[in-house]
Amino acid sequence: MNDVQQPEWVSKAENQSRLAFGQAVGELAGKDDKVVAISADTIDLFGLRGFLEASPERLIEAGIAEQSAMGIASGLATTGMRPILCGYAPFITTRSLEQLRNDVSYANQRVVIGAACSGIVLGMAGGTHHAVEDLAIMRNMPNMTVVVPADARQTWHAAMATEDLYGPSYIRLGGKFEETNVADIAGNDFKLGKADQLRTGDDVTVIACGALVAPALAAADALAGDGVGVRVLNMHTIKPLDRDAVLAASAETGAIVTAEEHRTTGGLGGAVAELLAQEKPTAMRMIGMPDEFCIIGPTVAVREHYGMSQAAIAEACRDLLK
């Protein structure tokens, strides 16, 4: 797709999922006058200045007050409005946990939560700013749809797909740097709850989400040179999980590696392991954070430190094939 054919939001998103989500908010608002954006001091983080100028009455700035922001979102939803809450992942999932559980999830409110700076993209900011337990929290919320797009383009499609959702949803986003464009390999036919198969293979399957989809593809390509066929699934929807894709991978490859920028408990790896333990026990390895608070440092270096990398994914695949 050349630049002339690209929609305007593509250039404005700058290959960043947080900005793609912000652009989608404006698009959704243009289609439905019930859409209201709620910012938890994130207008610039999500690139919402244009939306604010065009529709100031439809953007509520709650400030650094995630509990209030979540309550506002729930309250608006009860009136038939369509609130879209824009927050920092480490704060919108923990500071507002009670409101999230009781006012949004328990009440099954139609609230869309965009959570930027997830995982360890704020590596230098310290443990308070790391979001490596958010998927476990959100997966445990009944009624919640949980999405981890692989790049900015997929984020746009995920946000637009919330038009057809009538309960709460959580969309996990990246930080203030470009993300590798990988989802287009599978085209733009985005469906919630349906994994994208980005590589074929019969020896081992890598199931990845978010920031670790690109390293998973690189690992698969490197192993292909050694004659190892690696199937790669971009599991962008963690809940509901694509059961069919996971069980097919188990039956057809017999070995599965999960890869996520999250603790290995409760997130993608946990979801896959829970399914397989009950339906088809399968040899597995999990790439992700261990059971500890993350060290402080540059994001890329921290990822390497914890083995959230192409090399670690490839090694896990080799280990399963021994």
pLDDT averaged per 10 residues, the chain (length 322): 71 94 95 96 96 93 96 97 97 96 97 97 92 97 97 95 95 94 72 95 97 97 96 98 98 98 97 98 97 93 95 97 92
Q: Are 137 and 98 in contact (CB under 8 A)?
A: no
Q: Are 253 and 207 in contact (CB under 8 A)?
A: no
Domain end (from 116, 143, 172): 172
Residue 184 lies in a domain: no
pLDDT at residue number 148: 98
Report how many helices (DSSP H) and strands (DSSP E) the chain contains, helices first: 13, 12
Tell me which amino acid residue 154 is.
Q
Q: What are the DSSP E strand ranges found in the chain? A: 35-39, 59-61, 82-88, 112-116, 145-147, 169-172, 196-199, 204-208, 230-234, 237-239, 255-263, 283-289
Strands 196-199 and 230-234: antiparallel
Residue 186 lies in a domain: no
pLDDT at residue number 1: 44
Are 256 and 120 found together in one domain? no
Are 21 and 108 found together in one domain? yes
pLDDT at residue number 185: 61
Residue 58 lies in a domain: yes
Are 26 and 154 found together in one domain? yes
Residue 260 lies in a domain: yes
Are 143 and 275 found together in one domain? no
Are 12 and 150 found together in one domain? yes
Instruction: Retrieve residue 125's tokens.
Output: 């900011």
- Interacting residues of 205 by C-beta distance below 8 A, sequence separation 6+: 230, 231, 232, 233, 249, 250, 252, 253, 255, 256, 257
CATH number at residue 221: 3.40.50.920
Are 165 and 18 found together in one domain? yes
Q: Is the dihedral of CA 215, 191, 116, 176 positive or negative?
A: positive
- Interacting residues of 178 by C-beta distance below 8 A, sequence separation 6+: 14, 15, 16
Are 12 and 137 found together in one domain? yes
The gap from C-alpha 303 to its chain's centroid, in whole angstroms, comes to: 17
Are 26 and 126 found together in one domain? yes
- Interacting residues of 307 by C-beta distance below 8 A, sequence separation 6+: 287
pLDDT at residue number 112: 98
- For residues 196, 198, 204, 208, the Cα torsion angle rounded to the nearest 10 degrees is -60
Instruction: Count up the domains in the chain and report the number.
Output: 2
pLDDT at residue number 4: 55
Domain end (from 172, 201, 218): 172
Please name every residue paired with 113 in a beta bridge, in sequence order, or none if there are none: 85, 170
Counting Cα atoms < 13 Å in the Cβ hemisphere of 141 gives 29
Residue 3 lies in a domain: no
Residue 178 lies in a domain: no
Are 82 and 162 found together in one domain? yes
pLDDT at residue number 157: 95
Other beta carbons within 10 angstroms of residue 51's beta carbon come to 23
Structural domain containing residue 316: 193-320
Residue 183 lies in a domain: no
Alpha-carbon gap, residue 148 to 239, rounded angstroms = 10
Are 152 and 229 found together in one domain? no
Kind plus residue range of the DSSP H or E element containing 41: none
Domain end (from 124, 139, 172): 172
Q: Phi first, then psi: what are they for 311, rounded to 5°?
A: -60, -40
Are 127 and 55 found together in one domain? yes
Please name every residue paired with 39 in a beta bridge, in sequence order, or none if there are none: 61, 86
The single residue listed with the structure tokens 């490839």 is 314
Residue 130 lies in a domain: yes
Answering whether pTM is above 0.75, one says: yes
Are 56 and 131 found together in one domain? yes
